[in-house]
Structure 1
Amino acid sequence: MTEAVPQAKTQGLSPCAEIVRDHDHDRWLTLLFAAPHMREDLAALYAFAHEIGKTRERVSEPMMGEIRLQWWRESIEGIYDGLARKHPVVAGLADLVARHKPDRSVFIDLIDARAAELYDEGPVDFDGLLAYADQTGGALNRMAAFLCGAQDEAHLSAAHAVGRAWALTGILRALAFQAAMQRITLPKDALEEAGIAPESLYRGQFSPDMIPIIRRIANAAQEAIRKARTQNGSYPAQARSPMLLAVLARDYLDRLAHAGDDPFAAPFDRGALTRQLKLFWAVLRGRF
Structure 2
Amino acid sequence: MFSLRTARRCASTVSRIRKYSTVPEAPTDPGEYCRQLVRKHDYESFLISKFWPPHLQDGYFAIKAFSNELAMVQDNVSLPTIGAVRMQFWRDAVRDIYDDRPPRHPVAIALHRATQTASLPPYHLKRIVDARDEELQTTSYPTSDALVAHAESVSSSVLYLLLALRGLSSAEDLAHAASHLGTAQTLATLLWSLPHHVAQRRLPIPLDICARHGVKQEEVFREGGGAVGIDAAVFDFAVLANDHLLTARDVFKGGKVPGVAVPVFLAGVPVASFLEQLERVNFDGFARSLAMRDWRLTWQIWSGYYRRVF
Task: Name the aligned partner's letter for residue 199 of structure 1.
Answer: E
Distance 1:189 1:141 in 2: 28
Q: Quote how far apart the aligned CAs of 1:271 are.
A: 4.6
Pair 1:115-2:133 in alignment: yes
Partner residue of 1:201? 220
Distance 1:87 1:174 in 2: 28
Q: Quote how far apart the aligned CAs of 1:193 are.
A: 4.6
Distance 2:148 2:91 in 1: 24
Q: Which runs of 5+ in 1 are unaligned?
A: 1-11
Distance 2:84 2:303 in 1: 43
Pair 1:24-2:46 in alignment: no
Moved more, 71-80 or 118-127: 118-127
Q: Quote how far apart the aligned CAs of 1:234 are.
A: 5.5
- In 2 relative to 1, CA 271–106 (structure 1 residues): closer, same or farther, beyond 3 Å? closer
Partner residue of 1:250? 272
TM-score, normalised relative to structure 1: 0.90
Q: Quote how far apart the aligned CAs of 1:204 are.
A: 4.5
Partner residue of 2:18? none
Counterpart contact for 1:180–1:203, Cα < 8 Å = no
Partner residue of 1:166? 185
Pick from 210, 216, 227: which aligns with 2:236? 216
**What secondary structure sits across from 1:120 in the alignment?**
coil
Q: Quote how far apart the aligned CAs of 1:158 are.
A: 1.1
Structure 1 runs, 4 residues or longer, greater than 4 Å off? none
How many residue pairs match? The answer is 278
**What secondary structure sits across from 1:279 in the alignment?**
helix
Task: Name the aligned partner's letter for residue 279 of structure 1.
Answer: I
Q: Quote how far apart the aligned CAs of 1:179 are.
A: 0.7
Partner residue of 1:149? 167
Partner residue of 1:6? none
Task: Name the aligned partner's letter for residue 242 of structure 1.
Answer: V
Counterpart contact for 2:139–2:201, Cα < 8 Å = no
Distance 2:289 2:155 in 1: 22
Distance 1:19 1:177 in 2: 20
Q: Quote how far apart the aligned CAs of 1:166 are.
A: 0.8
Q: Quote how far apart the aligned CAs of 1:121 are.
A: 3.2
Identity, in percent, stands at 25
Task: Name the aligned partner's letter for residue 246 of structure 2.
Answer: R
Counterpart contact for 2:66–2:107, Cα < 8 Å = yes
Moved more, 259-268 or 85-94: 259-268
Distance 2:155 2:79 in 1: 24
Task: Name the aligned partner's letter for residue 138 of structure 1.
Answer: S
TM-score, normalised relative to structure 2: 0.84
Partner residue of 1:70? 88
Output the aligned Cα RMSD.
Answer: 2.0
Partner residue of 1:268? 290
Larger Rg: 2
C-alpha distance after superposition, 1:153-208 (max 9, x if no partner): 10122122211111110010011011111112221233345332222222352235
| Larger relative contact order, structure 1 or 2 (CA cutoff 8 Å, min sep 6) | 1
Q: Quote how far apart the aligned CAs of 1:135 are.
A: 1.2
Pair 1:235-2:260 in alignment: no
Moved more, 113-122 or 49-58: 113-122
Q: Quote how far apart the aligned CAs of 1:129 are.
A: 1.3
Q: Quote how far apart the aligned CAs of 1:13 are.
A: 6.4
Moved more, 25-34 or 212-221: 212-221
Distance 2:256 2:212 in 1: 43
Distance 2:152 2:33 in 1: 28
Counterpart contact for 2:142–2:208, Cα < 8 Å = yes
